[in-house]
Chains A and B, each alone.
Chain A
Amino acid sequence: MHIPDGFLDAKTWIATTVIGAGAVSYSLRKSRLSLEPNKIPMVALIGAFVFAAQMINFPIAGATSGHFLGGAMTSILFGPWIGTIVMAAVLLVQAIVFQDGGITVLGANILCTGFIGSFTGYGIYMLGIRMFKGRGRAILTFIASWISIVAAASGVAALLALSGTFELATAMKAMVGWHMLIGIGEGVITMLVTGYLMERSTILARGGQTAYEGVPNNRA
């Protein structure tokens, strides 16, 4: 759901550019404090994976197609600040190199699919993990990433309505309707990847390095 140039009016794209830039610079500051050097290759690889997976549009109901976004996945793996950074980087490369998603609306795209997607997915995932004490992680991941897509689609719909492109209720119904289906793909991919790449941490079970490594991951 990359917004192209021309869909948002001037006030909306200027406002979202400013807010988007703020969100990215704040995320950069937050990431700087929480990022361990040994995570660098992992973040780079996951960013590349998100890009590759976003290329694969899967057909839906013979009428449309959807693709993976990855905000929820990246945030569950690395926390929502790094998640936002990775998504912003993906959108930047797509807009500059591949003309996918507009330049004026880069801020809007970063806010919707990056920031909203990352924080919604992560928030719901963490809430669920706390509530169910770590049980049912796969299904939680599916639900959290499904909701993250619906939330991102609602964000896009709200911006379209704000631009006067079309009315809010119609925009919501149309965007959320299709993305409820597209979100299923998001849920499945996020569930598979995080299931494969995450493991139980043995916090404080052994001393030294393990305990240290457990701390930021427990939080993130």
Chain B
Amino acid sequence: MKAFRITAHRTKWMVMAVITVATAALLSPWASSRPDGLERVAEDHGFLHQATAWNKLAPLPGYELTGMKWTAVSAGVAGLIGIAAMAIVLWGLTGFLTRSGGGRNGQSASGGD
């Protein structure tokens, strides 16, 4: 069987990083504001009004900076904050996972570091 694996080419990952930052910062203001698939269905079948939000403490509700007049900048900055948060959360989590027992690479679970 022919198998495929994820590339280790640094350049390709750099390109991916550039695409990610550009998407978050520059493309996000252009996103369609039409209702998404589920919202469309909810509207058509009359239960959209049931939607509430328990999380009143969200710092950036709706991907917008409160008090920012330029909506394009607001969406772009929200996008950048989002990708930074994602990278930090996942880096931390996967780092923790491999340290706490990523067995195959040397079993340094408890005594390694």
User: Which A residues lie at the B interface, using CB under 8 A?
Assistant: 1-7, 28, 31-37, 39-53, 55-60, 63-67, 77-78, 82, 85-86, 89-90, 92-100, 102-104, 129-130, 133-135, 137, 153, 156, 165-166, 170-171, 174-175, 178-179, 182, 193, 196-201, 203, 213-214, 216-218
Contact = CB atoms under 8 A, between A and B. Distances in A.
Interface residues of B, number: 73
The dominant DSSP class at the B interface is helix
A220 B68 CA distance: 44
Contacts of B79: 52, 55
Nearest to A78: B6
A65 B33 CA distance: 8
20 contacts: A1-B36, A7-B42, A33-B102, A36-B98, A36-B105, A37-B102, A44-B91, A44-B94, A48-B86, A48-B87, A51-B24, A51-B85, A51-B86, A52-B21, A52-B83, A55-B79, A63-B34, A95-B58, A98-B62, A201-B4
B69 interface: no
B97 A32 contact: yes
The dominant DSSP class at the A interface is helix
Given A7-B51, A55-B82, A174 B28 contact: no
